[in-house]
Amino acid sequence: MRFFRNLVVIAAFATTFAAAAPVQAKSLKIGYVNLQRAIREVAEGKRATERLRKTFEKKQKTLRAKEKELEGLKKQLEQASVVKDQSATRAQKLEFQKKYMELREVFMKEQQQLMKLEQDELSKITVKMRKIIKKVGKKGGYTIILEGQKARLLFAEPHLDLTNEIIRTYNGKHK
């Protein structure tokens, strides 16, 4: 849906310039930025990625400990079923199911927290990045700067790619 909306905006923009006088068409200056790459490669983005990785590893360690506990309960349950101690087996099955559901809930909660944390980190950088892009666009006399990712950008001359310039400018301003 977003792709089609972008396509409509670009088509409307191109139509406007196509209708303009040929003299104005010569002053048209277009560039593109791979925003995702820029966010990943700026120093602040690398630090955010490292913080997220550490948080993920810490949460992963906690989840592994709970998984081991669950595996221990499963082994006890299997041993009790071999001995055919029905009362112990029933209690252990309930305990196992309870722990299993708790682990699933914790996993889902942790996953949501990580996604929110990542979104918060990246949105802060994106706001600053857009200001840098605007500044570079005005300074360079660009008519339009597009977001260009390989999946969306079918063809563009490499000299139109402003990503490296945006990264350098961002790192110079936000250390």
Per residue in 38-57, pLDDT (tens digit) is 999 999 999 999 999 999 99
Say whether pTM exceeds 0.85: no
CA distances from 45 to 27, 33, 40, 49 (A): 34, 16, 5, 6
Q: What is the mean pLDDT of residues 76-95?
A: 73
pLDDT at 115: 93
Question: Which span out of 1-15, 107-121, 144-158 was modeled with the highest average pLDDT?
Answer: 107-121
Walk me through the domains of the chain, giving residue ranges and CATH numbers: 20-173 (3.30.910.20)
Integer Cα distance of 141 and 134 in angstroms: 10
Integer Cα distance of 81 and 97 in angstroms: 16
